[in-house]
Structure 1
Amino acid sequence: MKPPSIPIEQASTKQDILEHLLRQGQASAIELAESLDISPQAIRRHLKDLETEGLIQHSAEHAAGMGRPQHIYQLSSKGRDRFPDRYNQFAVSFLDTLIETVGEDQVDQVLHKQWQRKGIEYRNQLGNGTLQERLEKLVLLRRSEGYVAEWYAVETNGQPSFIFTEYNCAIAHVAESFPSVCGHELEMFGAALNCTVERTHWMVDGEHRCGYLVRANS
């Protein structure tokens, strides 16, 4: 028997909920309803479905001045796996084998060269526009590779700067065992954009995103 099809509108709304939780880390039903401009009743139906599917989970949180706790929702491991994560435990095992074979320093040099190559590849695609234009192109490139990425303008010490954020990591499993790769990735962003890039948030530290402060070289 063929399973019933899911209306496109419902599938789209559920994906919007998952992406919102990916970006924000957690949210209540009311916050989701307001953000997505959907009725609280409809949001709760979608949340119930997503929780039944094992894609989200909730915890009870007492709001100030209120006796009844509200549910705070976040992605489960299964829900986070819905977003691209190209490297799995095979990559970690492969790196372990390389370290046993040629040594940690040699492997680190290879990883560094790989990120340098990626930085040059990006830089050639970004062109010679303004820093904002180059960052816009980088975000589009990362999105085409499966990242949930965004940017926005800020001001630091009177100088225009930008925050660049990614909410999923294609090398998450590798970074957990070899956090040095994140340092190489940070250097890669700086080389690709030809600017100063500083880390502001890091998934390896338990945060729900990786964030970077991007500013012109002084």
Structure 2
Amino acid sequence: MKQSSTKDMILLLLKKNKSLTIAELAEKVAVSEIAVRKHIHFLEHDKLVKATVVRQPIGRPVNYYELSVKGQEAFTNHYESFSVGLLNDIEKLYGKPMVYELFHHRSKRMEEEYKRHMTSDSFRDQVEELAAIQERKGYMVELEKQNDKAYTLKQYNCPIWNIAQHYKSICGHEVKLFSDVLADSDVKAEKTIISGEVCCTFQITQKSQ
């Protein structure tokens, strides 16, 4: 396996699992622990991962590795035209209400874009198309069917993570967007990356017919 692809796999695993040990990474990547330590060394040198020492009831402490802020940023900013700097400038010039107005216009634009792709009246088809759109936009999506009227949508990446750190209200716009494009459905955000969770989790339920 090529060195670069192994590093990418390690970063992706840390993105999806919050924190892992050398042994856990070696098992998931299917390489030796020595090889993983070498890759982790370079990733730490590049400030993409950081280690936390966790004491064990028995034996030596164990290092758990997770993405650093720089590592998180490596997954973001590839799909979103907004920039934190621009929004900060707008806030200084015109105040926060103008920033919120931009978020509103962004949501309306995205709603129109999503609805163009969601032509089916089927609840299942609409949810699956929403998941496909989010995947194309870089959200690293997992869709789990609970039953015919309920799905769990997980997003392991947030392309607007930097913005959400400064303007948390943008997360609420995402919930509203999903509710608006999914006809006759209830959408609730249960977990968010910005609050420290490994993924954003949404419960999508079809309203009673």
Pair in the same fold by TM > 0.5 = yes
Q: Which residue number in structure 1 is paired with residue 41 of structure 2?
A: 48
Candidates 4, 15, 33, aligned match of 1:22: 15
Partner residue of 2:176 out of 171, 174, 187: 187
- Which letter maps to 2:104? H
Q: Which deviates more, 67-76 or 29-38?
A: 29-38
> Following the alignment from structure 2 to structure 1, what is the Cα–Cα distance between the partners of residues 121 and 13?
31
- Which residue does the alignment assign to 2:91? 96
Q: Which residue in the other structure is 1:5 paired with?
A: none
Number of the residue aligned with 2:153 = 164
Of all paired residues, the percent bearing the same amino acid is 27
Is 1:173 the counterpart of 2:162 in the alignment?
A: yes
Give the alignment's TM-score, normalised by structure 1: 0.81
Could you tell me how far apart the structure 1 residues matched to 2:101 and 2:140 are?
29
TM-score under structure 2 normalisation? 0.84
Q: CA RMSD in A?
A: 2.3
Pick closer, same or farther for the CA change 1:126–1:34 going to 2, 3 Å.
Answer: farther
Residue identity opposite 1:178 in structure 2: Y
Aligned residue in 2 for 1:4: none
Q: CA deviation at 1:69?
A: 0.8
Structure 1 position 187, deviation (Å): 0.6
2 CA distance for matches of 1:96 and 1:46?
41
Looking at structure 2, the residues matched to 97 and 135 of structure 1 have their Cα atoms a distance apart, in angstroms, of: 39
Higher mean C-alpha displacement, 40-49 vs 12-21: 40-49
Distance 1:92 1:126 in 2: 30
2:120 match: 128
How far apart, CA to CA, are the structure 1 residues paired with 2:27 and 2:149? Answer: 31
Runs of 4+ in structure 1 over 6 Å off: none
SS of structure 2 residue aligned to 1:146: coil
Residues 1:9 and 1:67: Cα distance change in structure 2 (over 3 Å): same
Distance 1:132 1:13 in 2: 36
Unaligned runs of 5+ in 1: 1-7
Whether 1:197 aligns to 2:187 is yes
Residues 14/136 of structure 1: CA separation in 2 closer, same or farther (3 Å cut): farther
Shift of 1:30: 1.6
Aligned-pair CA distance for 1:171: 2.4
SS in 2 for 1:57: strand
> What SS is found at the alignment partner of 1:27?
coil
Deviations 1:129-177 (A, max 9, x none): 643333333233223223222222235xxx6422212222232233233
- Aligned to 1:169, the other structure's residue is in SS state coil
Cα pair 1:150 1:166 within 8 Å, conserved = yes
